Amino acid sequence: MDHLKFYIDGAWVDPVTPATLDVINPATEKAFTQVSAGSAADVDLAVAAARRAFTEYSQWSVAQRLELLQEIRRGYKKYFDDIAQAISTEMGAPIDLARGSQAKLGAGHIKSAIKALLNFQFEAVEDGMILRHEPIGVCGLITPWNWPMNQVAVKVIPALAAGCTMILKPSEESPLDSMIFAELLHESGVPAGVFNLVNGYGPVVGEAMSAHPDIDMMSFTGSNRGGVAVAKAAAATVKRVAQELGGKSANLILKDADVGAAVSEGVHYMMGNSGQSCNAPTRILVPREKMDEAIEAAKTAVESIAVDEPAKPGDHIGPVVNQAQFDKIQGLIQQGIDEGATLVAGGTGRPEHLPTGYYVKPTVFANVDNNMTIAREEIFGPVVAILGYSDEDEAVEIANDSDFGLAAYVSSGEMERAKHVARRLRAGQVAINYVAGTTDTPFGGYKQSGNGREKGKWGLAEFLEVKAITGLGPVRGG
């Protein structure tokens, strides 16, 4: 595949103006390929193709769209290993994680979208009117680097299921798996212009998409800064904007729980993907009288977490995605030390056996106050903070005292108590005893974690407009 081309109107084409950007392997700190950096002119071509294709594709029957999604699902198996390998190389996920979770989630979202499409009622008669759900139109999709295929599939596939056409801008840090996915869609028979891909920088390509008058909806996953920029650029054309942004998820370990076991599981859960998950349980809340037990459990847990090269098989974490992210994490670890948190394990610098690559030591802080920087800011690395609380009310208050509200976690030996606490948490998804949702579970957040919901039937509904047709009775005067 020529990585310097874009996929527009059913073909791989050269950019309007040649410009390139390096794709860095975070394990080596070196570029292993280049992609083209698109411009507003490339976006114009992609939008025009999507607008033309919408006229016909929006009228496809549910049966036709189901057949297309089934073909994509079959084809995904062929490209699975290529997608996993691309993810591992471009963003540093260990190969077993890339296969077992990263690429696997793409397949899961295809399956869930098919299920949603099979069961969705697009038209019904209610209260003397016809209610129709119709595709919103041309959609701009911007995806992040941390779970690249997960986020591409959770946007592209429901948009296809809804009858929309689209332009995808994947993260410039992890563009290759999306380009492989474009090949899959082409081979599966997605009509020309229905799906388009333009690589490039957010302030250029993303800005052009967000402000484009012929794009009807923007779906963005990424940083709060990026989400705000998309919303501002989109405001002038009053398009729908769906955002899945940051998180600083609280992990409430209630007094009746096995604190040591829950802390250990919480640390392992949080460190997955090198802590680069927006819903990671980064704030562990424990009863103050059990802080010493929590510290010991966290220290033991961290010591069992290996850090190694992404290409090696096995259960370990890899590097973070790039130099900027590495530097940010190092600065926040130092800030935690400077602000007086107890450094339980880890700290600044790379692991001794990995002098090259953006590797971060798995790090745990304890005795953290919720006003400390490491408790307020999304670190997006393998860094967890342990905070103490006196009673359940204070635990809920601390958990909700955040600008974010994407996810939360509750550990308890009493299910009714856990459910009661879960209902009090201001978060879009709450996992009891670390039982996470599936690809059918709605995903999205409260507050500055964004708006809208992805996955399953909720993800399909995001790409639909509601139309009411009234006047179904006899024609007046007839």
Among this protein's residues, is 56 annotated catalytic?
A: no
Question: What is the structure's pLDDT at 2?
Answer: 77
**Domain of 102, in residue numbers:** 6-245+449-468
CA 139 to chain centre: 17
Give yes or no: residues 142 and 33 share one domain. yes
Does residue 269 fall inside a structural domain?
Answer: yes
Closest by alpha carbon to 6, among 167, 202, 140, 142?
167
Per the DSSP assignment, residues forming a β-bridge with 283 are: 250, 385
Structure tokens at 320: 């973070």
Task: Provide φ and ψ at 467, rounded to 5°.
Answer: -120, 135
As a whole number, mean pLDDT of residues 124-135 equals 96
Domain-located, residue 475:
no
The per-residue pLDDT for 188 is: 98
Same domain, 147 and 232: yes
- Tokens encoding 26: 């975070």
Q: Average pLDDT, stretch 358-386?
A: 98
pLDDT at residue 475 in the model:
59
Within a domain: 415: yes
Sheet strands side by side (includes 123-126): 123-126, 129-135, 464-469
89 and 201 both lie in a single domain: yes
Q: Clarify whether residues 39 and 78 are in a common domain.
A: yes
In this predicted structure, the answer to whether residue 477 has a pLDDT above a threshold of 60 is no
347-to-1, 64, 94, 180, 419 alpha-carbon distances in Å: 41, 55, 22, 37, 36
The confidence score (pLDDT) of residue 478 equals: 45
Q: Are residues 128 and 183 in the same domain?
A: yes
Confidence of residue 121 (pLDDT cuts 50, 70, 90): very high
Among the listed residues 381, 321, 390, 370, the one whose alpha carbon sits nearest the alpha carbon of residue 347? 381
User: In the prediction, which pLDDT does 224 show?
Assistant: 94
Taking only the tens place, the pLDDT of each residue in 162-191 is 999 999 999 999 999 999 999 999 999 999
Q: Which long-range contacts (CB under 8 A, 24 or more apart) does 62-68 make?
A: 62/117, 62/120, 62/122, 65/117, 65/160, 65/161, 65/163, 66/114, 66/117, 66/118, 68/160, 68/188, 68/189, 68/190
Q: Which of 172, 207, 278, 309 is catalytic?
A: 278
The Cα-based distances of 259 to 253, 367, 369, 384 in angstroms read 7, 15, 19, 16
DSSP state for residue 191 in the 8-state scheme: P
- Residues 58-72 have a mean pLDDT of 98
Residue 1 lies in a domain: no
260 and 325, same domain (yes or no): yes
Residue range 393-436, pLDDT digits in tens: 999 999 999 999 999 999 999 999 999 999 999 999 999 999 99
- The answer to the question of residue 270 being in a domain is yes
Residue 477 belongs to some domain of the structure? no
Domain co-membership, 278 together with 392: yes
Given the structure tokens 């939360």, which residue do they identify?
408
Secondary structure (3-state) at 285: strand
Report pLDDT for 267: 98
> What CATH number did the domain enclosing 132 receive?
3.40.605.10
> Looking at the structure, do residues 226 and 345 belong to the same domain, yes or no?
no
Instruction: Give CA–CA dist 10/7, Å, rounded.
Output: 7
Model confidence at 476, pLDDT cuts 50, 70, 90, reads low
Partner residues linked to 139 by β-bridges: 166, 217
Q: Is residue 444 in a domain?
A: no
* Residue of 173, 244, 378, 462 marked active site: 244
Is the torsion defined by CA of 86, 91, 94, 100 positive or negative? negative
CATH number, domain of 304, equals 3.40.309.10
Question: Are residues 367 and 395 both part of a single domain?
Answer: yes
Same domain, 458 and 370: no
Give yes or no: residues 323 and 375 share one domain: yes
Sequence letter at residue 194? V
Mean pLDDT over each residue of the chain, to the nearest integer: 97
pLDDT digits (tens, 9 = 90+) for 244-278: 999 999 999 999 999 999 999 999 999 999 999 99
* Complete DSSP assignment for 139-155: EEEE--SSSHHHHHHHH
Residue 298 lies inside a defined structural domain of this protein: yes
**225 with 307, same domain?**
no
Taking phi over 0 as left and psi of -120 to 50 as alpha, with beta for the rest, 328 belongs to alpha
Range 21-35 average pLDDT: 98
pLDDT surpasses 90 at 133 = yes
Q: How confident is the model at residue 1 (pLDDT cuts 50, 70, 90)?
A: low
- Length of the chain as a residue count: 478
Give the total number of structural domains in the chain: 2
Is position 29 annotated as part of the catalytic site?
A: no
Q: How far apart are CA 230 and CA 221, in angstroms?
A: 10
**Angle between helix 148-162 and helix 176-188 axes, rounded to 10 deg:** 30
pTM: 0.97
